């Protein structure tokens, strides 16, 4: 009888480990791929992000984000002449260069919510 209990316990342990592994694997799959340079790699889309944004917003698939806190030292590539609608008009980048928005689009593609 005790050997039966041990076998059941092992099965439960394996299931828990498998679920934990699957959860970690799914989280990894949902993140954008990384280029060798360490920058995320996003699937290409057949339109500008600026064209896609209003439709995703209207369909409530994305929400704008509050502007991030301005760092003391401006990041490389900061463009004061550009503003990001995803970040509620914050200067520094536009939606075409917005990693946060591109990441949201990538998640929608991977979750098969968004198809082109």
The answer as to whether 35 is a domain residue is no
User: Same domain for 48 and 95?
Assistant: yes
Block mean pLDDT (10 aa), the chain, length 116: 37 39 40 58 95 98 94 92 97 96 97 95
How many domains, the chain? 2
User: Same domain for 69 and 114?
Assistant: yes
Residues 6 or more apart in contact with residue 113 via CB below 8 angstroms: 61
Q: How far apart are CA 63 and CA 81, in angstroms?
A: 23
User: Same domain for 55 and 13?
Assistant: no
User: Same domain for 98 and 77?
Assistant: yes
User: Same domain for 24 and 46?
Assistant: no
Q: In terms of residue numbers, what domain contains 3?
A: 1-30
3-class secondary-structure state, position 13:
helix
Task: Quote the pLDDT of residue 20.
Answer: 40
What pTM was computed for the model?
0.66
Task: Quote the pLDDT of residue 42.
Answer: 93
């Amino acid at each position: 009888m005790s050997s039966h209990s041990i076998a059941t316990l092992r099965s439960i342990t394996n299931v828990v480990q498998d679920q934990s592994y699957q959860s970690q694997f799914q989280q990894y799959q949902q993140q954008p791929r990384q280029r060798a340079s360490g920058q995320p790699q996003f699937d290409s889309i057949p339109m500008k992000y600026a064209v896609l944004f209003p439709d995703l917003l209207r369909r409530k698939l994305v929400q704008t984000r509050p502007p991030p806190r301005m760092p003391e030292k401006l990041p490389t590539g900061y463009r004061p002449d550009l503003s990001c609608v995803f970040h509620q008009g914050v200067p520094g980048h536009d939606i075409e260069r917005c990693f946060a928005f591109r990441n949201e689009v990538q998640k929608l593609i991977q979750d098969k919510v968004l198809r082109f």
